Amino acid sequence: MQFGVFTVGDVTKDPVSGKTLTEGERIQQMVTVALKAEEIGLDVFATGEHHNPPFVPSSPTTLLGFIAAKTSKILLSTSTTLITTNDPVKIAEDYAMLQHLAEGRVDLMMGRGNTGPVYPWFGQDIRNGIHLAIENYALLRRLWREDVVSWEGKFRTPLEGFTSTPRPLDGVPPFVWHGSIRSPEIAEQAAYYGDGFFHNNIFWPADHTARLIQHYRSRFEHYGHGAADQAIVGLGGQVFMRKNSQDARSEYRPYFDHSPIYGGGPSMEETMEQTPLAVGSPQEIIDRTMTFREKFGDYQRQLFIADHAGLPLKTVLEQMDILGSEVVPVLRKEFDALRPAHVPEAPTHESLKAAAERAASFESVSPEVVGLEGTR
């Protein structure tokens, strides 16, 4: 089970102090959060990709490359890579480069994003969103897996004898999660390729999330990648903790009320009841997170939003200390004890490399030897 944090990189006025960070200060804050995540023993740091205010992470590979140089263990990911409006050739090259620089500590989550105007900004039509996600990813897979690619599709110019550089580290492309909160077509796409499916369920009630994950699991099995409960699932979440729940809710309320994510919607209590938002004591967060397994089955990755809505860095780092010392160790133990032996762990570069080496070794055995082995 992988535990980590993700950031949406919003620049939001602190409703308590009245301070608004500069873009530079917010970017440095995200770096600090990533370094803290490694310090406290989390597995993953992930960043979104946004091209509109009040968000600043428009270049995930730049941010993650900088963090890679300052870390040695934590896996660096995206919580959105816009497969619809980014050129798949550029994705292939940028993330292969990052993979080399981070020595394999990279995976990424493909998504369509939730900002409609981004499509025309990059020369695309939002009405083609699903079709762009399907076509662009099909090309990206080939660019990572074939040394020379000739290709023709609907949404970009053809390629003739093209080689993406650099090639993936050790010949193993980064693992891909497909992120969606509402589209069964994306869950289907993840299942078809045997990739991971990530549901950032911070906005949605559990029954909606469960239906989409179950669709992915059943189709994963349908396409022959393993049993439904062996599918690779990730979940989002958001927490705010203090020693007792009353203090947590009192402190967090102004940030919730002015959040660019939650502000203007249902109350904090209604949102906590209807979605995975958990504000309370560490034990309440543990109990709430354990219900995810009951509702969605065994899964491989849990990411929490760590910094948003103008929370001061001091508070964010306090939250992460609680995660690292009181919450995640208990969750690791509980999830590991409950996980059946046949349910896989989240893929890493090393596990994917080992699987590729085993496959190559098997393919190198001649049919005659295989036949003789079968007669023993």
Per-residue pLDDT 10s for the chain (376 aa) are 999 999 999 999 999 999 999 999 999 999 999 999 999 999 999 999 999 889 999 999 999 999 999 999 999 999 999 999 999 999 999 999 999 999 999 999 999 876 778 888 888 888 999 999 999 999 999 999 999 999 999 999 999 999 999 999 999 999 999 998 878 999 999 999 999 999 987 767 788 899 999 999 999 999 999 999 999 999 998 999 999 999 999 999 999 998 877 878 899 999 998 888 999 999 999 999 999 999 999 999 999 998 989 999 999 999 999 999 999 999 999 999 999 999 999 999 999 999 999 988 877 654 444 443 333 3
**Whole-Å CA distances, 16 to 7, 20, 36, 253, 260:** 21, 11, 24, 10, 15
Half-sphere exposure of 206 (CA within 13 A, CB side): 14
Query: Could you give the CA distance from residue 178 to residue 164 in angstroms, rounded to a whole number?
Result: 22
Each residue of 311-324: pLDDT tens digit? 999 999 999 999 99
Q: Residue 86 carries which DSSP code? A: S
Instruction: Judge whether 100 and 173 are in contact, CB under 8 Å.
Output: no
As to burial, measured by CB atoms within 10 angstroms (0-12 exposed, 13-18 middle, 19+ buried), residue 105 is buried
Query: Could you give the CA distance from residue 130 to residue 48 in angstroms, rounded to a whole number?
Result: 19
What pLDDT, on a 0 to 100 scale, did the predictor assign at position 364?
66
Give the list of residues 6+ apart from residue 276 with CB closer than 8 angstroms, or none: 201, 202, 206, 235, 236, 237, 238, 288, 292
Q: What long-range pairs does 366-370 form, CB within 8 A, spacing at least 24?
A: none
Each residue of 180-223: pLDDT tens digit? 887 899 999 999 999 999 998 776 778 889 999 999 999 999 99
Query: Could you give the CA distance from residue 137 to residue 297 in angstroms, rounded to a whole number?
Result: 27
Residue 162 identity = F
Residue 297 identity = G
Among 193, 177, 186, 78, which Cα is nearest to 145's? 193
What's this model's pTM, rounded to 2 decimal places?
0.93
Indicate the angle between helix axes 313-322 and 23-39, nearest 10 degrees.
20
As to burial, measured by CB atoms within 10 angstroms (0-12 exposed, 13-18 middle, 19+ buried), residue 44 is buried
Torsions phi, psi of 107, nearest 5?
-140, 180
- Residue 166 preceded by cis peptide, ω within 30: yes
